Each structure stands twice: as structure tokens, then as C-alpha cells.
Amino acid sequence: MIQLLLAIFILIGGIALIIYASLKAVKHSAILAAALGVSPLIIGVTLVSIGTDISEIFNSIISCSLGHGDIDVGDSVGSDLTQLTLVFGLLPIITGAIYIHRRDIIILGACEILSLIVIFSVVEKGYITRLNAILMVGSLGIYIWLIYNANKESILHRVEMIEKIEAPKSKKFHFLIAALGFGGVTLAAYMIVQSVIYISSFLNIHEYIISFFIVAVGTSLPELAVDINALRLKHHSIAIGDIVGSCIVDSTLSIGIGQVLFPQEVTAALAVPTVLYTLIASFIVFILIASRRKIDKKAGILFISLYFLSYVFLFTFWI
């Protein structure tokens, strides 16, 4: 029992560390890049598309390198569902109604649904080949172009913020902090994976389930924090772009990068129903948002209900 409590403590500590370290890594990498003369637009696109998904990306690499592809897929797909339902649902309850341009949500939603269809077609085979993974990662370039054209407000805002950055510290300082941040993310990802493996074995609960329902919530917290701040400043498009953009990254780069380096088997019996449920939930979320052009508290409650219904649906399916 003491070992189980220790593993749970390591899991919680790993999630806390990966959130803190990823934010530091991204922030100081942006400052360093700006100081070195890298285009603010390039930095802005990178931050909007990938910044808050560093935790899932490193978790993918570490889990696949250790031979646990289920943790990679479970975390990435679980993050998709968590962000599109739980995070989307909490935001209007916390900050008030969110107003959205129909064209933007249709383009972003189509990219996310298409990426989930690709995942479904791959995981049902029970194995992600290196070629499949390369195609997943490579498709992110197309999605980024579409995201940029549909979400220029978010990217231009990030560009403005980066252009205002002043680096009172030396470049070596920012390089050191960024390096320590990425080192912390790597260590935290290792802690998370090892604790999930132990908890799964001790409680006889499949590691895919733990990753999908627990780890995914932890690695989705950066999106919630970023989007609450954006909405409080009335930057509605930025919040929407971050959430859906993060989901698209989860469905392409995050799930695929580990498989490109270390192709792994996936438990199709668990992956297929979770991807299918996430796909159905995504359809509901995007159709509702596109038709109403806003997310209010009523929609928020519905989205949160969709998240918790996944427990009932998926556990009933597995039983």
C-alpha cells in the first residue's frame, strides 16, 4: 500500500512538474528566439500550435521509448476529449459566454475531426506503423496553415506580445532556463509513465484507462489556465484557437512523434471505443457551437455532461 501511495504521489508530482516546466521552457525559448532575431510570426505560430502541448509530446516520446504505446495514445486521445468537453464546458461557467465566428470553428473543427478519423483508421489495426506516424506528424503542417488562416487574431496577438518582449537577462540565462525547463518536462514525463505502469499493475487497471481518464486531465490543465486568462481579457478567438489547436496537435504530433521514433502496439479493444466516443463528442460540440456561434453556461453544462458520460459509456462498453 505504501508503494501505491508513493506511485500516486509521483504521478501527481510529475503532472505538476510537467505543467510548470513546460510553461518555463516555452516562455524562455520564445524570449531567446526573439533575442536571436527569429521572426515573431514564426514564434507566434509555434506557440499557438504547439506551446501548451509540450507535456503530451514528451509523454508520447518517453512512453513509446519504454514500450508503452497505450500510454501515448490514451493520453493524447484523452486530452482531445478533455479539452473539447470538460475545458470547453468549464470556460463559460468561469468567465461567461464565449462568442465565436462560425467560419473559424467550422475550419478548426473539420481539421480536428479529420485527424480523429485518421487515428480511428490506424488504431483499429492494433499497431501504429512508422509510416502511419510520419503521415500523422506531417499532416500537422497542413493543419497549421488552415489554423493560421482561420485564427489570425490569436496568432497576431501572440506576435504583438513577442515583439514587446524585452530580454533584460542575457541570452545564456534564457537558454539555461529553457534547457532546464525541457529537462524538467523530460523528467516529469518519465515520472508519469513509470507511475502509471506501477499503478496499472498494482490495481490491475489497464494503463490505457489511467492515461485516458487521469493523465489526460493533468496534461490538459495548461490549456485551461491559458484560456481563462485569454477570456478575461476578452480575447475569445485566442481561447478557441488554443483549445482546438491543441486538440489538433494532440491528434497529430503528440500521438505520432513517439511512434515515429519507437513504433508500438496499441490495445485496439480500448483505443477504438475511446476514439469513436471522442469523435462523436467532437461532432456534437462543433455542430452546436457553429449553429449557435457562442458557448454559454447551458452549452457548458452539456459539454461537461458529455465528458462524464464517457465514463458510463466506455466502462459499460468494456464490461
For residues 212-240, give the mean pLDDT. Answer: 76
What angle do the packed helices 130-150 and 236-249 form, to 10 degrees? 170
In whole angstroms, give the CA distance from residue 92 to residue 117.
Answer: 28
Q: How many CA atoms lie within 13 A of 229 on its CB side?
A: 6
Residue-wise pLDDT tens digits, 67-103 = 999 999 999 999 999 999 998 899 889 888 888 878 7
Residue-wise pLDDT tens digits, 36-51 = 766 655 565 565 557 6
What is the structure's pLDDT at 161? 57
For residues 5-24, give the mean pLDDT. Answer: 85
Lowest mean pLDDT among 13-27, 149-163, 217-231: 149-163
Residue-wise pLDDT tens digits, 253-308 = 889 999 999 999 999 989 999 999 999 999 999 999 999 888 889 999 999 999 99
For residues 8-32, give the mean pLDDT. Answer: 81
What is the structure's pLDDT at 285? 93
Fold of 2-318: A middle domain of Talin 1 (1.20.1420)
What is the structure's pLDDT at 266? 93
What is the structure's pLDDT at 138? 87
What is the structure's pLDDT at 276? 93
Task: Domain ranges for the chain, please list them.
Answer: 2-318
What is the structure's pLDDT at 37? 67
What is the structure's pLDDT at 141? 78
Lowest mean pLDDT among 12-16, 74-78, 114-118: 12-16
pLDDT band at 242 (very low <50, low <70, confident <90, very high): confident
Which of 7 and 237 is assigned the larger pLDDT? 7
What angle do the packed helices 268-292 and 69-81 form, to 10 degrees? 20
Q: Where are the alpha helices (DSSP H) in 54-210?
A: 54-65, 69-81, 88-95, 102-123, 130-150, 152-163, 171-203, 207-210
pTM: 0.84
What is the structure's pLDDT at 164? 58
Residue-wise pLDDT tens digits, 129-182 = 899 999 888 887 777 776 666 556 655 665 555 555 555 667 788 888 888 888
For residue 169, how many other CB atoms are within 10 A of its CB? 14
Find the angle CA(260)-CA(263)-CA(265) to the nearest 5 degrees: 145
For residues 169-197, give the mean pLDDT. Answer: 84
